[in-house]
Each structure stands twice: as C-alpha cells, then as structure tokens.
Amino acid sequence: MPDFNRIIMAGHLTRDPQLMYTPSNTAVCKFGIAVGRKWKDRDGNQKEETCFVDCTAFGKTAETINQYLSKGRAVLVEGRLSYQQWTDKEGKSRSKHEIAVESFQFLGSGGASRGRAEAGDTAGGELPPVTGDDIPF
C-alpha cells in the first residue's frame, strides 16, 4: 500500500504568526490554529472540544501568512503532517505533530486580503470565500 500524508484543517489563529529566515534566506513562518468540534452526547448534552495545532510554512507562503494573518483570523491550511522531536531545557525528550503548510486559504471577512496562496506561488489569485457548505466535513 502506498504512503499518503495529506491534512486539511480550518480554524482560527491562536497567536500572531512568527516570521524568521534560515541562514540561506528562506522564510519560515510558525503559527498555531485552534479547531473546534461540537456534538451531543448520549444524554443530549451539548459537548465541545478544541484541538490546538502548530503549523509551519516556508518561502512565499510564509511571507504571505505573516503579512495578512493575525491572532483570531480564520484560515484553511493544507499540507502534510510532520513529527518533531527534541530535548527540552530540563533534559526531557519531547515530541509533537505539526502541519507543514503547503497551501492555505483565507476564511471569513477580509476584503481585499481574501485569496489563496500555494508553496512557490509568486502571486495568489483571488478565489471566492469558502463557506461551511464548501468544507467536506
């Protein structure tokens, strides 16, 4: 069976994007999104949970995200799931999954900043806004 690593999530930024550059001058933007879910349990009680996900974008995509997005803005990200491991300051092994963003789309109101950008794009074309009916889940 062939491997397939693709993830699509829509949520709100939990913090302002942080833009930095590698020594080879590649833009890297780190940000987080919160994705909520609501449902009713067996007794009919409304339940709610939020999943917090770290994201990293590169190149022109990173610069565009940094320029137009801020804490609280809605975004749809598409990319691959990446697994990170490191040792913290106390010497403990730590790990997390994050999304390596390959493309994204602005969601919600945003006027002129509404658009779509993909990794390697030099100019994001205008697309109609995405509504809840357009998302397949």
Domain 7-38+47-124 in this protein, CATH class:
mainly beta
Biggest alpha carbon–alpha carbon distance for the chain: 57
The span from the CA of 92 to the CA of 72, in Å, is 32
The span from the CA of 12 to the CA of 10, in Å, is 7
Phi and psi at residue 93, to the nearest 5°: -75, 130
Strands 93-106 and 46-58: parallel
Strands 27-40 and 7-13: antiparallel
Q: What is the pTM of this model?
A: 0.74
pLDDT digits (tens, 9 = 90+) for 11-63: 999 999 999 999 999 999 999 999 999 999 999 999 999 999 999 999 999 99
Q: Is 1 helix (H, G, I), strand (E, B) or coil?
A: coil
The amino acid at 34: A
pLDDT digits (tens, 9 = 90+) for 114-137: 344 444 443 333 334 444 444 443
Question: Kindly report the CA angle at 60 between 136 and 133, in degrees rounded to 5?
Answer: 15
